[in-house]
Copies of this chain bind each other. A is one copy, B any other.
Amino acid sequence: MARVGIIGTGFVGRAWAISYARAGHEVALWDGQQDAPQAALSYIEQLLPDLAANGLLNDVPEAVRGRMRAAATLEDALAGADYVQESTFEDVAVKREIFARMDVIAPPGCILASSTSAILPSMFTEHLAGRARCVVVHPINPPYLIPAAEVVPSPWTDPEVLQRAAQFLREAGHAPIVMQKELDGFVMNRLQGALLEEAFRLVADGYASQEDIDIGIRDGLALRWSFIGPFETIDLNAPGGVRDYVNRYQGLYAGLTAQMQRRVDWAGPVLDGIERDRRAHVPADKLQERQAWRDRRLMALMAHKRRAAKDIGS
């Protein structure tokens, strides 16, 4: 059991709170807005029974809820903390200020992790006495459903802190991606960006529609990717494994890549068409309902993956 401080209790912070309390940790929630932690806890209370019903809680909702509390001050939230997850507004000045405050208050040895998706850790930790204990731990939302999280060091992050953060995540049921050095977009947004870039190009150039792209991924490529990832996929797609695959197909892919060295504007006419197609599927006033449906499907998928790993192996 560790003591965890959740700093910033918006959508990301409250989701982390569930993940860490589920893992058995004592979680204190604090936010710059005084009423926010209580609102987050109410939201969490409504969510926990759904997670329990899908077998994703490892415990009764009351027990998980019982490990969370609202902290009145930053000092209170960080008292005795072993690990802090910061999820405040995505602005470098905001991050610099909250990290400066946290670094003064948090006990020595406490890891200070930021949920930032797009700010390099070097941008808001260089000035700190305790900069060696600062790291980015970036989730895909919501982290209580999606295991992957990126652990990103700045040039001055202590390698032992990097490993300790990764181990902390693993023990909480997460699958950490441990980066060797910081990089814009980290790993996941770069992979997503590379794929989206080609998707927008195909639509902009009139080869396929938005729906065709989604079919190609959701009814095609992402089926295997969702349990073995792209490298294991190609490793199993040639008789002699990944080397055999690269020998057979690198020439093909090199030719395709040469055709992709050009950016298209994602906005403008291509976005008009994509938005028209999307709104025909889901009208604007049904987006929230669709998001709730997505989360239910995601929960069912995670329950399926857990069962399949047990029954068939992983």
The reply to whether A294 and B228 form a contact with Cβ atoms under 8 Å apart is yes
Interface size on A, residues (CB 8 A): 105
- Looking at A210, A215, A236, the one whose CB has the most chain B CB atoms below 10 A away is A215
The reply to whether B221 and A192 form a contact with Cβ atoms under 8 Å apart is yes
A227 within 8 A of B: yes
A247 within 8 A of B: yes
A271 within 8 A of B: yes
A193-B256, A195-B194, A217-B225 given; A287·B241 CB < 8 A:
yes
Residues of B within 8 A of A94 (CB): none
Inter-chain CA distance A148–B188, complex, in Å, is 24
Q: Please, which residue of chain B has its CB at the minimum distance from the CB of A287?
A: B241
Return A308 CB to nearest CB of chain B, in Å. Answer: 5
CB under 8 Å from chain B, chain A span 187-220: 187-199, 202, 206-208, 210-220
- Looking at A219, A239, A258, the one whose CB has the most chain B CB atoms below 10 A away is A219
Residues of B within 8 A of A274 (CB): 231, 242
Q: Please, which residue of chain B has its CB at the minimum distance from the CB of A263?
A: B257
Residues of B within 8 A of A123 (CB): none
The reply to whether B207 and A218 form a contact with Cβ atoms under 8 Å apart is no
Residues of B within 8 A of A258 (CB): 263
The reply to whether B193 and A180 form a contact with Cβ atoms under 8 Å apart is no
A300 within 8 A of B: yes
Q: Is the interface of A mostly helix, strand, loop or mixed?
A: helix
Select one of B178, B212, B241, B271 contacting A178, CB under 8 A. B212
A255-B184, A294-B228 given; A241·B198 CB < 8 A:
no
The reply to whether B223 and A226 form a contact with Cβ atoms under 8 Å apart is yes
A2 within 8 A of B: no
Contact with B along A249-263 (1 / 0, CB 8 A): 010111111111101
Inter-chain CA distance A242–B150, complex, in Å, is 25
Residues of B within 8 A of A183 (CB): 202, 207
A180-B207, A253-B266 given; A236·B294 CB < 8 A:
yes
Residues of B within 8 A of A164 (CB): none
The reply to whether B118 and A196 form a contact with Cβ atoms under 8 Å apart is no
Inter-chain CA distance A212–B177, complex, in Å, is 5
A146 within 8 A of B: yes
Inter-chain CA distance A291–B241, complex, in Å, is 11
Q: Please, which residue of chain B has its CB at the minimum distance from the CB of A197?
A: B257
Residues of B within 8 A of A287 (CB): 235-236, 239, 241
Partner-B contacts on A (CB < 8 A) = 118, 140, 145-148, 150, 175-181, 183-185, 187-199, 202, 206-208, 210-232, 234-236, 239-243, 246-247, 250, 252-261, 263, 266-267, 271, 274-275, 278-279, 281-282, 284, 287, 290-291, 293-294, 296-298, 300-302, 304, 308, 311-313
- 7 pairs from A and B in contact (CB 8 Å cutoff): A150-B216, A187-B202, A188-B216, A191-B213, A193-B257, A213-B229, A301-B304
